[in-house]
Structures are given as structure tokens and as C-alpha cells.
Amino acid sequence: MNVETVVYEKKSGGILQNMKQANFEIYEDGIKQEITNFAPTQGPMTLVVILEYSRRIDNRWIRKEEVIEPLYVLGRSFVKPDDNIAIVAFDTRPFVVQDFTGDVKQLNRSVDFLLRNNPAFSESNIYDALNFVLQGGKGDGIDLRNGQVSRNVPYGGLKDVEGRSAVILVSLGYDTFSKLNYDEIRKVIGSTGVPIYTIGVGNLFFKLYEGQMSGEQRMSWNQAFLALRTFSRMSGGKYFPVTFSTELPTTIESITNLMRSQYSLGYSPNNTRREGKTRKIEVKIDIDGDGVYGEKEEEKGYAVQHRETYIEPNDAPRK
């Protein structure tokens, strides 16, 4: 089991570098585990950007540019030649706009394509899109040279990618009618171990019109925001609610810094149970080397970011 971990200062957001194995302890279901492998994981990114591309993000309140333009910032400032970046957009179905590439010009052509065109549907099946990217499946693909769409193209999920990988999800957080429900997609996220960094859009609209909403409408918006926070927290990513487009460069910079500044903690679980149950992970740190891990460091203003749970293997035969 490998747990990718980032340590940063809560107030400044500054990431702690040059930490050693002795600075970390790892617990599973409250039981301390022996760290058998430790390594900083600075290096190339394998990243899928998932963009909501529905009419919900293209209307008089929310502009589709708010959702799409972060990709220009990512490509212009943070993508390096050794990186592998893919773009998947979704409405009723996920479609691969750009397969993995480190070519910034190619990424920008993909962004141009999305900006030139308009979303066709109001539905946004976010759970199915996440499952598609993480687990793989069949989706649509686009030839950017002529705009031709290929249907039901097989696509491999990030669960099969060797080495570090991550997801940036840019969305309102609403799900319309995915085949998977909320609990099911949480299980998928917990089983794959890929960190999900969510950029929540629509915050300006909510702040401007919250007072005019019904109780049911406010609850729907808050549930959408909660879903994005939950996806990030449980996977070891981070949630970024963006209100103004001017926040995007800093947000993208924060995400890429977090992805490039992880420590990989490896251990073999003491518990050999294989029943498909959820296990809780906790990483504690000792910054000053006094042998005391945990709450004291949090009181000093440090935060530890990592996946919170995983699902153990299940040897029971499927019914």
C-alpha cells in the first residue's frame, strides 16, 4: 500500500520540503504500520482534467469560459515536456477531447475546440465521468482536425496507470442522472487511490442569488459543494472553491505544486483480512524531531494531506 502525502502550512500554503522518513508515522484503523518504502515523488505529472461541459455552465449567470479557461493557465504556466495530460469533458456522457500528451500546443488546440463549440445538453453526469476516468470504460472521442466524433471508444482508467497520477475536476458538483449513485462513486474513489483536486465553479452565482433561492435550491447547491469537498478529502486531493476568474492562476499553481511535492509512504498492512471492507488511513508528522507525532504539529499550523480510506481486496466470489 502506497500513500501519497503532502505537508503544508495552513496559513501560507507553503509546502514543506526535504522531510525524512523519521518525520512520518502511518496508522491503519488506528494501528501503527511499519513504513517499508519512503521517497519524495517530485517529477512528471500524469493528470486527467475532467471538465463539466453542459448548459448548466453556459448561461447568463455562469460562463463556460470560467470552466474551460483554467486549462490555458495550466498549459501556459505549469505543464512540462515530460508530463502526460489528458482532457475529458462530460455532459450526459464523458468524451475524450485530448488523450495523454505533454504538448502544450496540442492541449491549447483542445481548449480552443471547447471554446468554439457549445454544450448540447443540460445534464451533467459527474459520477459516471469520474468512474470512466478512474476505472475505464467506453466513451466518445473527438478528432480535433475535423470535429468528427467516434462513439463507444475503449478507454483505460487511471487505476491501470503505473506511477503517480491525479485528477483535476472542474465542475458545479451537480449530478443529474448518472448510472452510479453517490455512495457507489465514493467506493470507486476509495478503491482506486487517485487524488482528486476539485475546482468548484458557480460560487459567484450562489453568493449573488442565495437570498432569492428556495430552501430546496440552497440545499441542492450545498450538496453539490459538499460532494466536491468529499471527493477531494477522501482521495487525498484538495477542494478549491473559485469565485472569480482572477483566482484561477493561483489555484492551478497550488494544485500543481501539491502534485509535484508529495512523499510516497509504503507499507504492508498488518491486517490480512480480504473482505472488501473500508479501512481508515491516518498519517502523523513530527516536524521538530522530538518523537511526538500528531496533534502538536497541527496546533503549530501544519496540515497533512493524504487519502483517508481505501477498500481492501475481496476474495469472496461474486454473486
* 240-298 tens-digit pLDDT: 998 887 888 888 888 888 888 889 899 999 999 999 888 999 999 998 888 888 876 66
Distance CA 231, CA 151 (A): 28
Distance CA 68, CA 46 (A): 19
Average confidence (pLDDT) over 123-146: 87
Q: In 100-140, which ranges are continuous DSSP H helix?
A: 104-116, 126-135
Average confidence (pLDDT) over 231-237: 92
Q: Tell me how crowded residue 21 is: count the other CB atoms within 10 A of its CB.
A: 13
pLDDT of 292: 83
Look up the CATH number of domain 46-260. 3.40.50.410
pLDDT of 77: 76
SS3 120: coil
Average confidence (pLDDT) over 93-110: 90
Which three cell numbers mark 255? 494544485
Percent of the chain with pLDDT over 70: 94
Where does the chain hold its CATH 3.40.50.410 domain(s)?
46-260
Least confident stretch, 63-72, 225-234, 280-289, 292-301: 292-301
- Give me the amino acid identity at 220: S
pLDDT at residue 45 tops 90: no
This prediction's pTM = 0.86
pLDDT at residue 184 tops 90: yes
pLDDT of 165: 87
